[in-house]
Amino acid sequence: MPKTLPIVFLLIALVIVLFALRYSPVPVPLPGAGSNNSYIQTATPYPTPYTGPRPETVIVNGPKDWEEVSTTPYVIFQYVAIWDGDLRDILFETKVDEIDKDWQQSTANSRVIHLLPGKHVYHFHVRATTKDGISDNTPATRTFWGNISEKTGVKITNAFPRSVPQKLIIFNSGPEIDVSDWTIETSFGSSTITTGLATGVGSTTVITGVRLFYPHSSIVYQNISLKTGDSLIVVGQKSPSGFNFYLNRCFGYLDADYNFGSLFPKDCPRPSYTEISYFSSACQQFINSLGVCQIPSATDINRFNNDPACQQFLKDYYRYSTCVDRYQSSPDFFKREWYVFAKDQFMNVNHDRIVLRDGDGLVVDAYQY
For residue 303, what are the CA distances in angstroms to 19, 224, 297, 299, 308?
A: 131, 45, 10, 7, 10
pTM for the whole structure: 0.74
At residue 198, does pLDDT exceed 70?
Answer: no
At residue 25, does pLDDT exceed 70?
Answer: no
pLDDT of residue 10: 62
Q: pLDDT per residue over 227-247, tens digit each?
A: 999 999 999 999 999 999 999
3-class DSSP state of 142: strand
pLDDT of residue 8: 60
3-class DSSP state of 126: strand
Do 184 and 166 form a contact (C-beta atoms < 8 A)? no
End-to-end CA distance of the chain: 112
Domain limits, the chain: 56-148, 154-368
Mean pLDDT of 331-351: 93
**pLDDT bucket at 113, cuts 50 / 70 / 90:** very high
For residue 118, what are the CA distances in angstroms to 63, 100, 145, 194, 367?
A: 17, 18, 10, 32, 20
Mean pLDDT of 281-286: 95
- State the fold for domain 56-148: Immunoglobulin-like (2.60.40)
pLDDT of residue 147: 94
**pLDDT bucket at 107, cuts 50 / 70 / 90:** very high
The overall average pLDDT reported for the chain is 87
- What backbone torsions phi and psi does residue 16 show, to the nearest 5 degrees? -65, -45
Percent over 90 (pLDDT), the chain: 68
What is the DSSP code (8-state) at residue 286?
Answer: H
At residue 47, does pLDDT exceed 70?
Answer: yes
Q: How many CB atoms lie within 10 A of CB 108?
A: 11
252 or 343, which is more confident? 252
Query: 359 burial class (0-12, 13-18, 19+ CB within 10 angstroms)?
Result: middle
Q: Which of 6-10, 126-130, 272-276, 294-298 has the lowest mean pLDDT?
A: 6-10
**pLDDT bucket at 14, cuts 50 / 70 / 90:** low
**pLDDT bucket at 48, cuts 50 / 70 / 90:** confident
Rg (CA), the chain: 40
